[in-house]
Amino acid sequence: MPEWLTDFASICSILGLFVSLFVWIEAKKIRKSFLRRARLPEIMKEVTQANNNLSKNLKNWNESKRNGFEQLSIAKSLLENLEGKLPDKERKKVRIFCKKLEIKKMLIFTVPIANIEEDQAWELYTQLTGLITSLEQLSKDSKWD
């Protein structure tokens, strides 16, 4: 077999490897796009419901604190489920919001989310509303993918 033919075969093998990697990356993007298109509207409906319930609980914060924490917990769980299906920019926003709902450690003290005041709860509600708006726009954009 001529030497030029083996060199050509080696080059084609290397090019084939790069083409395979490109196809694999594109297939992952398509899969994420379909998952986002299918699941995002469903999860957003549930997150919006939790946000609306949180809004109702904020009106009477002293009496319905526990229900408010429950709604924040529901929203956090739904957003964590959604996180892997999102593009990088929205994923970062979701991570930042979810970290605000985790137990905060200050040296040796822990402050559970259940000890937040009404003003902090309103701030979380406002941030959640902004995040929902951002994700709703992503859902609309994904219809064009």
* Whole-number Å distance between alpha carbons of 10 and 58: 67
Evaluate if residue 112 carries a pLDDT over 90: no
Calculate ∠ Cα 93-99-102, nearest 5°: 150
The β-bridge partners of 105 are 110
Domain boundaries, the chain: 39-142
**Separation of alpha carbons 26 and 28, rounded Å:** 5
Residue 104: pLDDT over 70: no
User: Could you report the per-residue pLDDT of 19-28, keeping only the tens digit for each?
Assistant: 999 999 999 8
pLDDT at 103 over 80: no
Tracing tokens 């490109």 back to the chain, one arrives at 22
pLDDT digit string, tens, across residues 58-88: 988 888 888 988 999 899 999 999 888 888 8
pTM of this structure: 0.74
Mean per-residue pLDDT over the chain, rounded: 87
Tokens 């609306």 appear where? 52
Within 10 angstroms of residue 136's Cβ, the number of other Cβ atoms is: 15
Asked if the model's pLDDT at residue 54 lies above 80, the reply is yes
Query: CA-CA distances (angstroms) from residue 102 to 41, 70, 72, 73, 116?
Result: 25, 13, 11, 10, 12
* Fold category of 39-142 in CATH: Four Helix Bundle (Hemerythrin (Met), subunit A) (1.20.120)
